[in-house]
Amino acid sequence: GVNGFALDKEKGLKLIEESADRRISRSALPKALVQLALVYNGETLERDESKFMFYLKEAADLGHESAQRMLGISYKECSNEKEKTLHYVTLAASQGDLNACGMLGHYFSSAVCGLTKSLVLAKHYSEKNPEDELSAYILSCALLQLGNDRYEEIM
């Protein structure tokens, strides 16, 4: 339990579902849908992939940037759907999700998800999240390679 109260997973799930089904305020709805998706991610209840993806997609399609990033990751990890992965990660990055920017930097630097390797785009996305170790590494590598390429052009 929590703070002396017994956990009632079924009652909690019912309340979250009711909130999501009522189509609460436009600003709160995506957050409620993300919470409902996370319930089905295996930490609160047994993992239910179809419900997890359904609620996450609902939130992502309503513009929730974290849901967009998580959905993109889920498409990549669960079904390797490259187009959907790029679509949702790019949507999240376009809204300023720094983790999504870092992911795109990695995707462009390593030619992941069917992308053509682009050090310029890897640099562009990675420099948006310099606090992230992987993004900082990708940014450093891209800058080094771009500098080497320019040096070779001069010679």
Q: Are 64 and 33 in contact (CB under 8 A)?
A: yes
Burial 12-28 (b: 16+ CB within 10 A, else e): eeeebeebbeeeeeeee
Average pLDDT of the residues in 4-15 = 70
Type of residue at 88: Y
Task: Give 26's strand partners.
Answer: none
Three-class secondary structure of residue 79 per DSSP: helix
Q: Convert the pLDDT of each residue in 19-39 to its tens digit.
A: 666 655 556 788 888 988 998
Please tell me the pTM assigned to this model.
0.75
Q: Convert the pLDDT of each residue in 89-129 to its tens digit.
A: 999 999 999 999 999 988 998 898 889 988 888 888 888 88
Q: Convert the pLDDT of each residue in 38-89 to its tens digit.
A: 988 887 778 889 999 999 999 999 999 999 999 999 999 888 889 999 999 9
